[in-house]
Amino acid sequence: METLAVFHILKNGGTTLVNRYRTNSTFAYQRVAQELVFNFRQPNQYKVLIEDCKDQKVSLIIGHGVSFDLDKHLQNPVKYATILRDPVRRIMSAYNYFKLEIINVHSCITDIDFTTWIINCSRLHPTPVYAQYQKFSNEQCLRIDYGRKIDTVYEQELYDQAIENIQKLDHMFFMEDNYLKQFDKVAKQYDLKPNLSISYEHNTKFNLSQHGIDYVNYEELTDVEKQLVKETTTKDIEFYNYCKEHFA
């Protein structure tokens, strides 16, 4: 038996996959690198330290804590996968989700404007937002000179590392290309069954509306804000297009 491990990149549909497959007995959630959570969000949920997982039967792992060293800790050979999303759509989703997180985590409404958020998005809690390619290099803020510009030299270094590391992936899915249908086909090879009633999670637009907050779309941004989006996502768009060409 092989194990499929999925790198969950923020705002790329990973939560939907978790809830779609978490009732499989061989599913494990990996929020952090040090542990796996079995029977996730079920009455008999339990955690196992990653170094103690050799005897665990696991066919699917999804989470932000997935890394390429899982082979060291599991008895099965590991295949790796991830989901990518159009970078501009993703950055807009992340901004709106940040406002929802502030409500859910801190029970207050933020009036943070888009410019302030995007300049600081990779160092703001509850969840910093990095470029997708940084999941495969280093998740670190790239803005320098008081946020005026991006460190393009370090950005290129991280990008090159990411291009090298993604060659280790066995499957890549694209959120805009009916990724659930594509993932289900692959998951079947691992004897995994989806909960077909789960098709979409994190309805940020609806949840924000319940608090009287409008969802902000890219088309509503000012020219200055759109320029910031371009600066922030240029390298990620290059990464996305590279992956589309080589993995689609």
DSSP at 204: H
| pLDDT tens-digit readout, 165-201 | 999 999 999 999 999 999 999 999 999 999 999 987 6
Kindly indicate the confidence band of residue 248, based on its pLDDT and cuts at 50, 70 and 90: confident
For residue 62, list its beta bridge partners: 6, 29
Kindly indicate the confidence band of residue 93, based on its pLDDT and cuts at 50, 70 and 90: very high
Which residues neighbour 198 within 8 Å (Cβ) at sequence distance 6 or greater?
16, 19, 20
Q: What is the pLDDT of residue 139?
A: 97
Which residues neighbour 238 within 8 Å (Cβ) at sequence distance 6 or greater?
159
What global pTM score does this model have? 0.95
Q: What is the pLDDT of residue 122?
A: 97
